[in-house]
Amino acid sequence: MGKATREAYGEALKEIGGKNEQIVVLDADLSKSTKTNVFAKAYPQRFFNVGIAEQNLVGTAAGLAASGKIPFVSTFAMFAAGRAFEQIRNSVCYPKLNVKVAATHAGLTVGEDGASHQAIEDVSLMRSLPNMTVLVPADEEETRQAIAWAAEYQGPVYIRLGRMSVDNVSPEGYVFAPAKAAILTEGNDVALIANGVMVMAALEAAKMLAAEGIQARVINMASVKPLDEAAVVSAAKETGAIVTCEEHSIIGGLGSAVAEVLAEQAPAPLERVGVKDTFGESGKPKELLAKYGLTAADVAEAARRVVARKK
């Protein structure tokens, strides 16, 4: 088991902060949890704790970006995407300012903090905004590269990060790029398109399916917007069956993005594994993933259903 993506984020911030003095970091009194405290200790003059005031957090970042700085702002995903939505929309995306929103503690795997803190609609909210890039890295290496890329890119970026430790799934030599999916396993019977913590589940599901003679192509789709439409179309045409896997509502996130591409460019049977239009609850992360149907077994079962539909 590797690190949580929030931990990789903290380390990546410190690394890029040493290379570029224009990078500043802002937090809403959660730096120990979001891991921006790593940057704060290394570069205290470029770290700003605005307190429990997420709307001001984003507004201040917008002002710093307009002054030529490269601000990374962090808080829990629920507060970043939810409480500060208007500020992200009107103060960051509308003028296309160079603000990076790195939101941690996303999804059900926040665990015991419960439904009020489990952001399962943040990707949908951020994906709907013009000028916004939306990234959901799967592991430590992909997070590190995504943060480094975001620091160089000119424009708003939303990076979704988690609390739970995850396996290292990035292949040797992996290079992150927006709108570029990574094919982790080959297969022409069904395609499992996943991101974030669900990439682990997709890979495990592929092993289960292989034992049954079903060859699954596992695709890590870290970039939800822009989406790698070519990878989706190829998967649809070459496998004829698609399963999307996300730790997010099936409404508006990865599943919806893939469904839109399929409907317009390459119709194929689709099953969406994700949270089914409901709120979460307090519990252990793995127990919650099981209760809400986000395990490898659930992905494998969805794959069996979608394969049957194409026959």
CATH at residue 197: 3.40.50.920
CA distance 203 to 209: 10
Q: Which contiguous run of DSSP H or E holds residue 193?
A: strand 190-194
CA distance 210 to 35: 38
Residues labelled as active-site residues: 54
Same domain, yes or no, for 151 and 221? no
Residue 311 has pLDDT above 70, yes or no: no
Number of separate domains in the chain: 2
Contacts 24+ apart (CB under 8 A), 126-131: 126/81, 126/88, 126/101, 126/158, 126/225, 127/224, 127/225, 127/252, 127/253, 127/257, 128/252, 129/88, 129/89, 129/93, 129/156, 130/93, 130/94, 131/93, 131/94, 131/96, 131/155, 131/156
Same domain, yes or no, for 191 and 289? yes
Same domain, yes or no, for 193 and 100? no
Same domain, yes or no, for 122 and 43? yes
pLDDT digits (tens, 9 = 90+) for 149-204: 999 999 999 999 999 989 889 999 999 999 999 999 999 999 999 999 999 999 99
Closest CA to 16 of 154, 147, 136: 147
- 273: CB partners within 8 A, 6+ apart: 198, 243, 244, 245, 246, 250, 255, 293, 294, 298, 299, 302
Cross-strand partners of 54: none
Cross-strand partners of 154: none
Residue 303 lies in a domain: yes
pLDDT of res. 2: 84
- 268: CB partners within 8 A, 6+ apart: 236, 237, 239, 240, 241, 242, 262, 310
Same domain, yes or no, for 208 and 278? yes
Same domain, yes or no, for 73 and 113? yes
CA distance 99 to 132: 10
How many Å separate Cα 83 from the centre of its chain?
19
Percent of the chain with pLDDT over 90: 96
pLDDT of res. 233: 98
Same domain, yes or no, for 199 and 143? no
Residue 34 lies in a domain: yes
Same domain, yes or no, for 188 and 302? yes
Same domain, yes or no, for 150 and 195? no
Q: Which contiguous run of DSSP H or E holds residue 287?
A: helix 285-291
Residue 173 lies in a domain: no
Domain span at residue 120 reads 5-160
Predicted structure pTM score = 0.96
CB atoms within 10 A of CB 276: 11
CA distance 78 to 104: 9
Taking residues 241-262, report their average pLDDT: 98
CA distance 8 to 171: 17
pLDDT digits (tens, 9 = 90+) for 14-44: 999 999 999 999 999 999 999 999 999 999 9
CB atoms within 10 A of CB 215: 15
Burial class (CB in 10 A: 0-12, 13-18, 19+), 172: exposed
The strand pair at 223-225 and 270-275 is best described as: unpaired
Taking residues 192-217, report their average pLDDT: 97
- 244: CB partners within 8 A, 6+ apart: 193, 194, 250, 254, 255, 258, 259, 270, 271, 272, 273, 274
Same domain, yes or no, for 19 and 127? yes
Residue 270 lies in a domain: yes
Cross-strand partners of 275: 249
The radius of gyration of the chain's CA atoms, rounded to the nearest angstrom, is 19
Which of 160, 191, 220 is a domain's end point? 160
* Number of residues assigned to the chain: 311
Six-digit token pair at 249? 């509502």
Six-digit token pair at 89? 């929309």
CATH at residue 61: 3.40.50.970
Same domain, yes or no, for 21 and 134? yes
Three-state SS for 219?
A: strand
CA distance 4 to 11: 11
